Copies of this chain bind each other. A is one copy, B any other.
Amino acid sequence: MKRVAVVGATGAVGTELRCVLAQREFPAESYRLFASARSAGRRIDWVDGPLTVAELGPHSFDDVDLAFFSAGASISREYAPLAREAGAIVIDNSSAFRMDRDVPLVIPEINAKAVRSHNGILAVPNCSTIIMAVVLWPLHRVHPIRRVVVCTYQAISGAGARALAELESQTADVLAGRPPTPHVLPVPCAFNVFSHNTPIGEDGYNVEESKMIAETRKIFGDDTLRIAPTCMRVPVRRVHTEALSIEFETPITEQDAREILGTAPGLEILDDRAANRFPTPLAAEGRDEVYVGRIRCDPTIPDGRGLQLICAGDQLRKGAALNAVQIAELLSPGSAASERKRGPT
């Protein structure tokens, strides 16, 4: 029954989205792939044979039931309302609508029920937010969290397919003794680390950091949650690593944390101290789960209320494409979503 459109089909997230849809055998009746004029005309191998990428236009959604958007916020702002008017449900990977009151911001492991009350657009949170939130939520449910200090080690893929290509070519340049010349990212990324390439607000926090704060609060339904982020990029392809220092309202033991995280959905503990095996980008690349490890009590917080850990999740997968497809899977035939689609009869 579902005629599915993928907007931004040739980008980093769009490419992963096609991969996840195929792997999970998403029950689509048909697919249409859209991209910018630059990519239009490209032939892409698909489940039932090759598909031609079309240029996105105002009438792209005339025969679409479900549209995945991952072409940036400005494209979403322009075309998602058109898709909705044409009768499609939009699952948006951009930041365009995330903080809108009537747009559910959904991580299925956390707030699946939120999909019930959408107005035609549902938003996928920021990748860094998702990877942190799936770890924090199961802890927060049992031991309310007071404050989190988070430092990210973010992959280059978050800046898109062209940035990923720049990482490779620039790294080759440096190895060959040529100076690194940035074109896509603002500073050289090869063998470098840099503050996240989003604008800085008056409070000194960049947009990525502000997203982690505001989105986590919205998803958790808790406006008092205190999050102090530092978002940095590292020369890694597609997995975000994050170091979390968590202060709880009440004491928590290391064993508590291991039991909670060990049974939480979407997580896998990788925490072998003897072998020094912990979450890394290489371990998490291409995986659905977010890896968690280095779990330890933080003695600098009184009364046993502190915990530190690291986590690593595939930014393109759970951080974007997989989470989007999981949302689509929640919108089953009997859901409020499809009710809305059919409208009053």
Assess whether A70 is interfacial by the CB under 8 Å rule: no
A230-B195 in contact given A171-B175, A296-B204 (Cβ < 8 Å): no
A236-B192 in contact given A151-B151, A203-B296, A228-B298 (Cβ < 8 Å): yes
Q: Tell me the bound Cα distance from A40 to B312 in angstroms.
A: 44
Assess whether A310 is interfacial by the CB under 8 Å rule: yes
Contact present for B296 and A191 (CB under 8 Å): no
A243-B171 in contact given A187-B280, A193-B234, A230-B294 (Cβ < 8 Å): no
Residue from the set A204, A278, A281 with the largest chain B CB neighbour count within 10 Å: A204
Enumerate chain B residues within 8 angstroms of A194, measured Cβ to Cβ: 278, 280
Contact present for A276 and B175 (CB under 8 Å): no
A205-B175 in contact given A245-B230, A280-B194, A306-B228 (Cβ < 8 Å): no
Enumerate chain B residues within 8 angstroms of A228, measured Cβ to Cβ: 245, 298, 300-301, 306, 308
Q: Tell me the bound Cα distance from A104 to B193 in angstroms.
A: 33
**Choice from B226, B234, B294 contacting A235 with Cβ under 8 Å:** B234
Enumerate chain B residues within 8 angstroms of A294, measured Cβ to Cβ: 195, 204, 230
Contact present for B230 and A191 (CB under 8 Å): no
Enumerate chain B residues within 8 angstroms of A191, measured Cβ to Cβ: 167, 235-237, 281-282
Tell me the smallest distance from the CB of A327 to a CB of chain B, in Å.
28
Assess whether A2 is interfacial by the CB under 8 Å rule: no
Q: Tell me the bound Cα distance from A282 to B147 in angstroms.
A: 33
Chain A interface size range: 35 or more
Contact present for B171 and A203 (CB under 8 Å): no
Enumerate chain B residues within 8 angstroms of A55, measured Cβ to Cβ: none
CB proximity to B under 8 Å, residues A202-252: 203-205, 226-228, 230, 232, 234-237, 241, 243, 245
Q: Tell me the bound Cα distance from A230 to B232 in angstroms.
A: 15
Assess whether A134 is interfacial by the CB under 8 Å rule: no
Assess whether A188 is interfacial by the CB under 8 Å rule: yes
Interface string of A123-167 (1 = CB under 8 A from B): 000000000000000000000000101010100000000000001
Residue from the set A151, A175, A235 with the largest chain B CB neighbour count within 10 Å: A151
23 CB < 8 A contacts A-B: A149-B149, A151-B230, A151-B243, A153-B153, A153-B232, A187-B276, A187-B280, A192-B282, A193-B241, A193-B312, A194-B278, A195-B278, A195-B293, A197-B276, A200-B274, A203-B297, A204-B294, A226-B300, A228-B245, A230-B243, A230-B310, A234-B235, A235-B235
What is A's interface to B at a CB cutoff of 8 Å? 147, 149, 151, 153, 167-168, 171-172, 175, 180, 186-188, 191-195, 197, 199-200, 203-205, 226-228, 230, 232, 234-237, 241, 243, 245, 254, 273-274, 276, 278, 280-282, 293-301, 306, 308, 310, 312
Q: Using A194-B278, A197-B276 as known contacts, list a sample of 12 further A-B pairs with CB atoms less than 8 Å apart, ordered by residue number in A.
A: A151-B230, A153-B153, A171-B171, A171-B175, A192-B282, A193-B234, A193-B236, A195-B278, A200-B273, A234-B235, A234-B236, A235-B236
Top 9 closest A-B pairs, CB basis? A204-B296, A151-B151, A226-B300, A200-B273, A230-B243, A195-B278, A228-B300, A149-B149, A151-B243
